[in-house]
Structure 1
Amino acid sequence: MAPNLTEKTSSDRLRVGECLVVLSSREVHLPGTRKTPRLTPKSVGVLLALARKPGQVVTREELFADVWPDTMPTNDVLTQAVTQLRKAFAATGAEDGASYIETIAKTGYRLLAPVAWEASADATAIDAPDAGGVSAAETAIAPMQFGVRGKHRRLRRHVLLVLGIVLLLSTLVMAWLLWGRAAPVAQDTTVADGNRVLGSPARPYRLITATEDVEVNPSLSPDGALVVFARERDNRSSLWIQSVGNATATPLLATPAGASDRFPVWSPNGRSVAFARFLAQGDCEVLVVSATGTGLRRVTRCDGTDMLSFDWAPDGGSLLFGSMTGRYASRGIRSLDLASGRWSSLQYAMGADDFDYAPRYSADGKKIGFVRNPQVGDMWMMDADGSNAQRLTDDAAEIRGWSWLGSDEMVFGRRIDSESRLYRLDVATRLLRDMGIDNAQSPAVSRGGGNLVFMRSHFQSGLFRIPLGANGGPPQRLFASSARDGQPMVSPDGAQLAFTSDRSGTFALWWARLNEPASLQVIEGVRPEARQPMDWAADGRRLLVTGRDVDGAPGIYEVAPEEGHWVKLAVPAGEPLQAVYGAAADSLLVVERGDDERMALTLFDRSQQPWKRLASLEGVSQVRYDRAGQRILFTRLASGGLWQAAPDLAADSVKLVHAEMPSRWRYRTWAVAANGAVEYQDISRECSSRLTAIAGDGSSQCLDATRFSAGNGLSLAPDGSAVFIALALTDSADIGMMRIPQRAPRRVMGLAKWLLP
């Protein structure tokens, strides 16, 4: 009869059916077999719990309490333990493992095989040596046991050897990385022992200019030691040069009275600088001067151009130009040979409405990068001969300057909400990373690598109501804040104002009644798009807003601002960029961008599900509906100027309203009043913010001689008596400089993520 299994025995051998379980080694033996399975400690615990009640059902709860006390295991761990026991018994060749342990559905398990501890006497008999000095049990088990254990020992030795080599190599790699790291700077640490404060965290950059003027368009010499930039003062600009340290800048050359010098670009050999000079009456010329400010010569004219861009070829013998407008207009990217003055156009694929801007050769000269349609565009790249043109980003973003980082990476500025930030782009993987630098644009990298300069702006804007024409009166500040307020859109009844602002710390949509300042409230849950204006319904109760969801996908939102309610509309368009109410109650006009990056204005009937497309016009960048004139007004990507069409977008109704206003770059700074008046806001030499009537007598009014406006939208009072506009309260820009941070390594077979370059 078996001993009481609830009592502790002196033996560590438990007989289960035909198998002998040695508890000290957790091995399962059967004489005459070559396999010796080893159990886990939890499997042994389950076996002992079942062995205490042989032939009886042991519930899962009892097993959990006995084997996994003070924990909350899942059923899976118990199932795994039982499975291992069955496999161990089956592996010895005794019987099927399931015949040893039975599963009781939804209850627990039962041990079917007879169990017994090896009695002390039996253990003595088993362990007693025979004439040869070996016990009977050892005689049966030893040949199998020691052979298997020998193999296990050899395997363990090999595994330990490999692990030792891996650990040694890891130690050497970590030691090399730690040795190569720069020693920490004390000023970079904010808090040391206890509460002792050492200083604010160091920024990844430093400002090398800090004047009251506006410094823009920086360019680095090839060795990264000198920077040339344009300094703006009194609506004019001149070129200055200084070292990347905080030395005093000096003028590169004298700028003639009434002229402005902009867009300096350093030559590959560091001896010359190419730049653009803008003269009176829209005259323009591209000049080259030595780095010492001598030897000035003109290489081409650029009269009347809009969005001029150019860069040096790697050999320094030619300049690469982007698309040009004006008197010397040309579509696409072309090269100007400086010795002969001959132009040569690159042959590559581009759409009829495409405007390719800021072309630049890669460091190895094999690629050309450029921005296609920078107002709502993306980064592109092609081979130096014009082949294999491909899009690198797909954001319809407002790109604000860019540069190569070597030959396989780019850095560019992109407007996000109310600010511009720097991003770096891996051209092979298309991976985009935020560099953590806010209010930054116009990056430039030294051709030799290492240094990066950029323009860092300090801009704060406020909302103003400015009377127009004979009404006179001073500007009125609306809903004052210390943040960036923009896109003020007055309702058709003139009583409400919707606008965007980061006054709460995040960029959001705001609404208020103009005569009730206490009504000001934020519309929760809507992240508006800063580039596109909002549009009020005729009854002033609803508002169409372009926004982005939590994943950054663009969409159109219909907002009831007074109630704070909104809904995202099911616009059947891949990338809706703007929407306005049409002539009919259920018609909407949507500016969209298709998969081919082509822009179009589409008229939808939303009374049907899905929405029905009624008509479409290609190449439209922004739209307004003139209710008084019963016409659609819009701008185009391909050219400056204002166009109109009938409410049904009939192709034969399209005609030009004005050939020059708005310009291609300032395509958002125009508005339509309820009485049909159309006004355009731009900049002149004498006025920082000027409003000009596109229709009628073309009269102009200077809104503010010194303060620039935010370039993302304005609105007119219903009767055209006033303009609602965002003007700069503080507006300055400095040049920042930093070392280019090493990029994260690309993953190779999943291993490179563990190693730094």
Structure 2
Amino acid sequence: MTGSSHPEEAALPQRLLVGAGTVDFATREIEMPGGRRAIRVTPKAAAVLRALARTPGAVLSRNDLLAEAWPDTLPTDDVLTQAVTQLRKAFGSGSAGAAEGRRYIETIAKGGYRLTVPVTVPGDAVSTAAAPADVSTTAEGEPTRDGSDTPAPTRPAGTTPAPAPAPPGRWTQAWWAGAVLAVVAICVVSAVLLASRDPGPRLAATDDVSALAPGKPYRLVTSAAGFELSPSLSPDAGMVAYSASMLPDGTPLPGASILVQATSGAAPRAVSRPRAGERDDLPAWSPDGRDIAFARWDAAGGCRILLVSATAVGGEREIARCDGSELLSFDWLPDGSGLLFGTMTGSRDGAGLRILDLDPAAGGWRPLRYSATPGDLDYLPKVSPDGRWIAFIRNPQLGDLWRIPIDGGEAEQLTRLGTELRGLSWTRDGYALVYGRRIDSETRLHRLDLRTGATSDLGVEDAQMPVIARDADMVAFVHRQPQFGIQRIDAETGRRRPLFASSGRDTQPVAAPDGRQLVFTSDRTGSFELWWVDLARPGSLRPIAGVRPDTRQPPVWSADSRRLLLSALDAQGRPGVVEIGPASGRVTPLPVPAARPVQAVYGAGGGLLVIEEEREGRTVLVAYDRDWRVRGRMEGVSHVRFDPRHARVLYTRLDGNGLWSAPADLALSRTRQLSADVPSRWRYRSWALTTEGRLSYLDSDAGCRTRMTLFDLGDEGLRPAHSDCLDASHRSAVNGFSSLRDDWLVAVAVDDGTDIGLMPVPSDSDAPTSLIAKWLISMKRKSS
């Protein structure tokens, strides 16, 4: 750990059991039983915990902890308090609750802190120190020394055990006995069938589950600084190809290149040779393992699809152009005869799924005939292992999974998520799809069983873009754990100033029109919440109780800065619209007459503008008056804002780039297009109106990864007024922004990067025995 000078540092393992929690110092993660996910703490908080864990039960002074975690600096006591608070929140993220976290680290008045729970090494039966004396908590919840050596009783004194349940009736006993015998018989038959089935090819150096990180279902096969993206596995999963701009030793590459390495962790080698300013991405391994197809973009926006040998160096061969494609996607056909492309946004004839035959005699491009609406963006097409189906994501801005027969035909909607999807792959048996889905502040891997329609979370945090090997049950994915903090950026000088210390991800900052208030979303407490603060009183920072924000759209303030609208999720994950008085914390659900609202903003005359998700992934913008009467409707809207200066509605569309305006009643005859290219179709949320009536837009180019541009909003369209480069090199550096007078409030990635993860494909949770057991349970319920 940086900053430590203790000789015991090397002896302390990277992974410890602290009380009931598992601490991984390599990733700075604390995982508690019953917690939704592991909580990642800052390096300083991890350094404090490491110091306390070396001598559990002993009191360490504040000066000792400051000297260890903040060497060669002059920090204030506040930074240590924040670190301890962060650790307590992490230890309180499990099913035992926040009180458990406060109990783990005790404050010694005028002394310092001590760890009150045993510390052990996973797999060891002996603690590294004896458990300290029991602790209790004050009325304020602060742990204090109790002084008693008597262990707490397992049951409060004076209580009696709960009465045993009444024995079941004879019929019930007989029914369950028969059911158990049936299940046992089925298990025996299934075991015989599974034992006789061909297990398939074995892997070299990648199928050893014991090599995975302890306590995690995966291991990381890359470790370079920066971003490793777009993994593709060789057919036997022995090699992985990915895009990166830096070698593991820190040597920068001329441009983002395609690297190939063994999944056992050997050093990578570059198989593509981009020139300075070019970027190679999206490698796709051919079914025979000989070639890799990939895309190359140049500084001028040109795009080419190239083929390169997976084993030799050089020899790149262009097979297609993809100029102007903003969200490019392609994959090999199972027989290796061609590539299957998703919608190519930059091509006039690139709508829908198409096949590129690699044999020139076959005729080049071949469109697939299937049901689709003009403007649909069909992304990440993948052919099933048996060659019968093509699965894809339709309109990934508010996406769902779909499939069509391999030769085209009727499109079938497989999910009703309406959310941001990142990645898609078939399991080898063809019975399920594995995909990445945005959940709160992170993207997680999920599995869709195509036989039952059931979905399941695979338990892998911060994972996206899964890809399963053709001939091996291994899946690679992009593992990302960013930390976003809100910074105030001077629009004139570019000077940055952090607003709030946080161990979590603070995103989607939205300043009120009065310039005094700010709301943002954050998982800083372990739960994803909406936070409010009066900027003139930093101590007023607090979460809005009882609200789980829907991350698809940011909150929207009223013109008088007294209320805000938010799309929120209920306990079952269903979206709805709430109105919040942030100063009071009052939350009022609104009776929006829509089953799946996506975004709501204040309109003219006290009315509301609501984007609703309809069937088959379509959207409609509806203008309501105060009595919920419909004043107007407009199909295909992806994002909406109301411009009070001109009493008009500004919106973007799912089916193309650009900005449109409409009157308050959404009359189609009076709509106008203000821009044909800003915002782009994919950056439909990356724009906002400033308090001065300008439009701010976040995009990127070859020279600036994160660029903020101001446009004047005239009757004739957008006119660029000012542009600032917020970050020249980091991808995805910003997760939400807002304007505040002459400054920007931006959620900036202060700790970011990605690695490639690898793990066995999770077993089928709906095997025949599980399905029959479920049927038996359902029959039992019917008979009760």
> Once the 2 structures are TM-superposed, how far is the Cα of residue 548 of structure 1 from its aligned partner?
0.7
Q: Deviation digits for residues 340-377 of structure 1, max 9, x if unmatched?
A: 25211111111233110111111111100000011111
Q: Decide whether aligned partners of structure 1 residues 241 and 330 sit closer, same or farther in structure 2, where only a CA change above 3 A counts.
A: same
In 1, are the aligned partners of 2:398 and 2:617 still within 8 Å (CA)? no
Who is 1:47 aligned against? none
Q: Deviation digits for residues 396-442 of structure 1, max 9, x if unmatched?
A: 01010111112221100011111000001111211101000000001
> Once the 2 structures are TM-superposed, how far is the Cα of residue 294 of structure 1 from its aligned partner?
3.8
Q: Decide whether aligned partners of structure 1 residues 672 and 179 sit closer, same or farther in structure 2, where only a CA change above 3 A counts.
A: same
In 1, are the aligned partners of 2:371 and 2:410 still within 8 Å (CA)? no
> Once the 2 structures are TM-superposed, how far is the Cα of residue 697 of structure 1 from its aligned partner?
3.0
Who is 1:422 aligned against? 445
- TM-score normalized by the length of structure 2: 0.70
Secondary structure, counterpart of 1:519 in structure 2: strand
Who is 1:411 aligned against? 434
In 1, are the aligned partners of 2:503 and 2:524 still within 8 Å (CA)? yes
Counterpart of 1:309 (choices 312, 329, 332) is: 329
Secondary structure, counterpart of 1:358 in structure 2: strand
Q: Deviation digits for residues 79-131 of structure 1, max 9, x if unmatched?
A: x99xxxxxxxxxxxxxxxxxxxxxxxxxxxxxxxxxxxxxxxxxxxxxxxxxx
1:342 aligns with 2:364: yes
Q: Decide whether aligned partners of structure 1 residues 162 and 405 sit closer, same or farther in structure 2, where only a CA change above 3 A counts.
A: closer
Who is 2:480 aligned against? 457
Secondary structure, counterpart of 1:697 in structure 2: strand
In 2, are the aligned partners of 1:188 and 1:202 still within 8 Å (CA)? no
Who is 2:744 aligned against? 723
> Once the 2 structures are TM-superposed, how far is the Cα of residue 573 of structure 1 from its aligned partner?
1.1
Aligned partners of 1:481, 1:618: CA distance in 2, in Å? 40
Q: Which amino acid is 2:308 matched to?
A: V
In 2, are the aligned partners of 1:224 and 1:449 still within 8 Å (CA)? yes
Who is 1:682 aligned against? 699
Task: Please give the residue correspondences for 1:638-657 in structure 2 after superposition, counting only pairs within 5 Å.
Answer: 638-657=655-674
Counterpart of 1:358 (choices 361, 372, 380) is: 380
Q: Decide whether aligned partners of structure 1 residues 215 and 200 sit closer, same or farther in structure 2, where only a CA change above 3 A counts.
A: closer
Secondary structure, counterpart of 1:281 in structure 2: coil
Q: Which amino acid is 1:409 matched to?
A: A
Secondary structure, counterpart of 1:280 in structure 2: coil
> Once the 2 structures are TM-superposed, how far is the Cα of residue 711 of structure 1 from its aligned partner?
5.5
Q: Decide whether aligned partners of structure 1 residues 178 and 615 sit closer, same or farther in structure 2, where only a CA change above 3 A counts.
A: closer
Aligned partners of 1:171, 1:472: CA distance in 2, in Å? 70
Task: Please give the residue correspondences for 1:3-22 in structure 2 after superposition, counting only pairs within 5 Å.
Answer: none
In 1, are the aligned partners of 2:483 and 2:749 still within 8 Å (CA)? yes
> Once the 2 structures are TM-superposed, how far is the Cα of residue 449 of structure 1 from its aligned partner?
3.1
Who is 1:226 aligned against? 239
> Once the 2 structures are TM-superposed, how far is the Cα of residue 339 of structure 1 from its aligned partner?
1.6
Aligned partners of 1:442, 1:599: CA distance in 2, in Å? 25
Who is 1:588 aligned against? 608
Secondary structure, counterpart of 1:584 in structure 2: helix
Q: Decide whether aligned partners of structure 1 residues 342 and 488 sit closer, same or farther in structure 2, where only a CA change above 3 A counts.
A: same
Who is 1:713 aligned against? 736
Secondary structure, counterpart of 1:751 in structure 2: helix
Who is 2:567 aligned against? 546
Who is 1:493 aligned against? 514
Who is 1:244 aligned against? 263
Q: Deviation digits for residues 664-723 of structure 1, max 9, x if unmatched?
A: 222111110122100111122222321112433343111233445566532222x4x222
Counterpart of 1:264 (choices 266, 283, 290) is: 283
In 2, are the aligned partners of 1:670 and 1:713 still within 8 Å (CA)? no
1:599 aligns with 2:619: yes
Q: Deviation digits for residues 225-255 of structure 1, max 9, x if unmatched?
A: 1110001358941100011101111111221
Who is 2:218 aligned against? 205
Q: Decide whether aligned partners of structure 1 residues 425 and 200 sit closer, same or farther in structure 2, where only a CA change above 3 A counts.
A: closer
Q: Decide whether aligned partners of structure 1 residues 170 and 534 sit closer, same or farther in structure 2, where only a CA change above 3 A counts.
A: closer
> Once the 2 structures are TM-superposed, how far is the Cα of residue 629 of structure 1 from its aligned partner?
2.9
Aligned partners of 2:397, 2:773: CA distance in 1, in Å? 38
In 2, are the aligned partners of 1:747 and 1:753 still within 8 Å (CA)? no
Q: Which amino acid is 2:764 matched to?
A: R
> Once the 2 structures are TM-superposed, how far is the Cα of residue 320 of structure 1 from its aligned partner?
0.8
> Once the 2 structures are TM-superposed, how far is the Cα of residue 466 of structure 1 from its aligned partner?
1.4
Aligned partners of 2:180, 2:479: CA distance in 1, in Å? 51
In 2, are the aligned partners of 1:457 and 1:732 still within 8 Å (CA)? yes
> Once the 2 structures are TM-superposed, how far is the Cα of residue 618 of structure 1 from its aligned partner?
1.1
In 2, are the aligned partners of 1:532 and 1:712 still within 8 Å (CA)? no
Who is 2:88 aligned against? none
Comparing 228-237 and 213-222, the one that deviates more: 228-237
Q: Decide whether aligned partners of structure 1 residues 188 and 734 sit closer, same or farther in structure 2, where only a CA change above 3 A counts.
A: closer
Q: Decide whether aligned partners of structure 1 residues 268 and 490 sit closer, same or farther in structure 2, where only a CA change above 3 A counts.
A: same
| Percentage of identical aligned residues | 43
Aligned partners of 2:634, 2:184: CA distance in 1, in Å? 67
Who is 1:8 aligned against? none
Aligned partners of 1:398, 1:681: CA distance in 2, in Å? 19
Q: Which amino acid is 2:647 matched to?
A: Q
Who is 1:380 aligned against? 402
Q: Which amino acid is 1:312 matched to?
A: W
1:563 aligns with 2:576: no
Aligned partners of 2:548, 2:640: CA distance in 1, in Å? 21
Structure (1 or 2) with the larger CA radius of gyration: 1
1:436 aligns with 2:436: no
Q: Which runs of 5+ in 2 are unaligned?
A: 1-161, 200-207, 247-251, 712-717, 777-784
Q: Deviation digits for residues 426-470 of structure 1, max 9, x if unmatched?
A: 1121110100000000101111131110000020111012122xx
Aligned partners of 1:739, 1:268: CA distance in 2, in Å? 20
Who is 1:280 aligned against? 299
Aligned partners of 1:167, 1:287: CA distance in 2, in Å? 53
Who is 2:548 aligned against? 527
Aligned partners of 1:689, 1:426: CA distance in 2, in Å? 38
Who is 1:660 aligned against? 677
In 1, are the aligned partners of 2:351 and 2:375 still within 8 Å (CA)? no
- TM-score normalized by the length of structure 1: 0.72
Q: Which amino acid is 1:271 matched to?
A: R
In 2, are the aligned partners of 1:305 and 1:329 still within 8 Å (CA)? no
> Once the 2 structures are TM-superposed, how far is the Cα of residue 564 of structure 1 from its aligned partner?
0.7
Q: Deviation digits for residues 199-249 of structure 1, max 9, x if unmatched?
A: 994311110001112101000111111110001358941100011101111
In 1, are the aligned partners of 2:727 and 2:733 still within 8 Å (CA)? no
Q: Decide whether aligned partners of structure 1 residues 316 and 583 sit closer, same or farther in structure 2, where only a CA change above 3 A counts.
A: same
In 2, are the aligned partners of 1:353 and 1:619 still within 8 Å (CA)? no
1:297 aligns with 2:310: no
Q: Deviation digits for residues 522-554 of structure 1, max 9, x if unmatched?
A: 001100012201100011110101111110101
Aligned partners of 1:163, 1:620: CA distance in 2, in Å? 53
1:324 aligns with 2:344: yes
Aligned partners of 2:764, 2:463: CA distance in 1, in Å? 19
Secondary structure, counterpart of 1:688 in structure 2: strand
> Once the 2 structures are TM-superposed, how far is the Cα of residue 71 of structure 1 from its aligned partner?
7.7
Q: Decide whether aligned partners of structure 1 residues 389 and 467 sit closer, same or farther in structure 2, where only a CA change above 3 A counts.
A: same
Q: Which amino acid is 1:444 matched to?
A: V
Q: Which runs of 5+ in 1 are unaligned?
A: 1-69, 82-155, 182-186, 190-198
In 2, are the aligned partners of 1:628 and 1:675 still within 8 Å (CA)? no
Task: Please give the residue correspondences for 1:179-218 in structure 2 after superposition, counting only pairs within 5 Å.
Answer: 201-218=214-231
In 1, are the aligned partners of 2:709 and 2:720 still within 8 Å (CA)? no
Q: Decide whether aligned partners of structure 1 residues 499 and 236 sit closer, same or farther in structure 2, where only a CA change above 3 A counts.
A: farther
Aligned partners of 1:316, 1:401: CA distance in 2, in Å? 21
